[in-house]
Amino acid sequence: MTSRNTALDHVKAVACLVIVCHHLAFYGPMSDVLRPLWPGLLGWLDEYGRMAVQLFLVLGGYWAAAALAPQGQARYADIGPVLSKRFVRLCLPYSAALACAIVVNEVVRSWGFDHDSVSATPTWDAVLAHLLLVQSLGDWEALSAGVWYVAIDFQLYALCLVWLWCSRRLPRWPALGQTGLVLTTAASLWVWNLDSSLDVWALYFLGAYGLGMMAWWATHTPHPWQRWGWVALMLLLTGSALLLEWRTRIAIAGVTALALVLQGLWLPAGRWPQWPLLTWMGQRSYAIFLIHFPTSLLVNALVTLHWPQSVTANALGLLAAVLLSVLAGAQLFRWTEQATPTWQRWRNWQLGVLATGWVAATL
Mean pLDDT for the stretch of residues 106-135: 92
Cα–Cα dist 189/209, whole Å: 10
Radius of gyration of the chain (CA): 21
Average pLDDT over residues 214-224: 92
Asked if residues 151 and 98 have their Cβ atoms less than 8 Å apart, the reply is no
User: Which residue intervals of 142-201 are DSSP H helices?
Assistant: 147-168, 176-190
> pLDDT: is 265 or 328 the higher one?
328
- Dist CA 235 CA 218 (whole Å): 12
Region of poorest pLDDT, from 80-89, 99-108, 116-125, 177-186? 116-125
DSSP 297-315: HHHHHHHHHH-TT-HHHHH
pLDDT at 2: 40
The predicted-structure confidence for 281-295, as pLDDT tens digits, reads as follows 999 999 999 999 999
For residue range 183-199, list pLDDT tens digits in order.
Answer: 999 999 999 999 999 99
pTM above 0.85, yes or no: yes
Residue 64 has pLDDT above 60, yes or no: yes
Residue 256 · residue 58 · CB < 8 Å = yes
How far is Cα 23 from Cα 3, in angstroms, rounded to an integer? Answer: 31
CB 49 within 8 A of CB 25: yes
pLDDT tens, position by position, 256-278: 999 999 887 776 555 667 789 99
CA triplet 131, 288, 27: central angle to 5 degrees? Answer: 85
- Residue 332, judged by CB atoms within 10 A of its CB (0-12, 13-18, 19+), counts as buried
Q: pLDDT of 298-314, one tens digit each?
A: 999 999 999 999 999 99
Instruction: Give the integer Cα–Cα distance in Å for 290 and 93.
Output: 8
